[in-house]
Amino acid sequence: MGLKYKLGFIGAGNMALAIADGVVKAGLYRRTEIIASDIAVDSRELFSEQIGVVVTDQNNQVMQQAELVVLAIKPQQAKAVLAPLAGLAGAEQLIVSIMAGVSTSTIEGILGPEAVVVRVMPNLAISVGAGMTAIAKGSRASDEPVDKVQNLFQACGQTVLLEEKQMHAVTAVSGSGPAYFFYFVEAIIKAAQQAGLSRQQAESLAKQTCLGAAKSLLESEQEPAELRRAVTSKGGTTAAALAVMEDAKLEEIISKAVMAAVKRSEELEKSQG
């Protein structure tokens, strides 16, 4: 098998685009070393225009020509997309799946006995070099391919190694987490407008405030609860706002939301079995 490309993507959606953009900007791969496939013309055109790499509608071309193949398809499409690729994965290749709820054993079973699979759960922040990616190796993956995957995703943020059984929780926390955060910021912006600020003012204040708070979390040795208490004066405005959140049982709501995401990830995995 002639491996023409260093990196290939099966599925050219938003996450694949973010990963490709991140590794090219980081200098990890050249554009000429990357190929991506997708059945959707719009996705291929966007990928080609933004990243400047070879695109195709043939998934088997990627599987047969790339050293590291990223499976960036929806979990519901796993069997339909991977079944025609059975037997094409070689022992010299590395298969990296970003599909939520699809186990490495399922992918190994479909692709065949030589498929070396590593499962990852990145998040959309990799597009700005601040991603969080969890990595779990399949039964045939040694430390070397895991190191290779770490290098790939560390070009776009941070990584953590864990056991595959923990991936459901990771999916619910860091995989889906950016959406929770965006939803919270949306709510702050709407409330700020109700309080008399313009849309532009509200967005500027909310975005920079959240950025500063996140930066404080990363750079401080204090726990989130300690940082919260540090800006909460007894009988003050922050205390009044937090009291409303406590009365509404916001912590319980967030817990239920995260567990709902965990449950859905587990359901997706069972549906693949």
Nearest residue to 61 via CA among 98, 88, 82: 88
Percent of the chain with pLDDT over 70: 99
Q: Is the per-residue pLDDT at 39 higher than 50?
A: yes
- CATH class belonging to 5-167: alpha beta
Which residues of the chain are in CATH 3.40.50.720 domains?
A: 5-167
What's the pLDDT score for residue 129? Answer: 87
Residue 105 makes CB contacts below 8 A (sequence gap 6+) with 138, 139
48-56-145-99 Cα dihedral, nearest 10 degrees: 90
Q: What is the DSSP string of 14-81?
A: HHHHHHHHHHHHTTSS-GGGEEEE-S-HHHHHHHHHHH--EEES-HHHHHHHEEEEEE-S-GGGHHHH
Distance CA 177, CA 194 (A): 26
Q: Which CATH number fits domain 177-267: 1.10.630.10, 2.60.40.10, 1.10.3730.10, 2.30.110.10?
A: 1.10.3730.10
What's the pLDDT score for residue 92? Answer: 87
Predicted confidence band of residue 1 (pLDDT cuts 50, 70, 90): very low
Which residues of the chain are in CATH 1.10.3730.10 domains?
A: 177-267
Distance CA 222, CA 266 (A): 33
Predicted confidence band of residue 255 (pLDDT cuts 50, 70, 90): very high
* pLDDT tens column, 151-196: 999 988 999 999 999 999 999 999 999 999 999 999 999 999 999 9
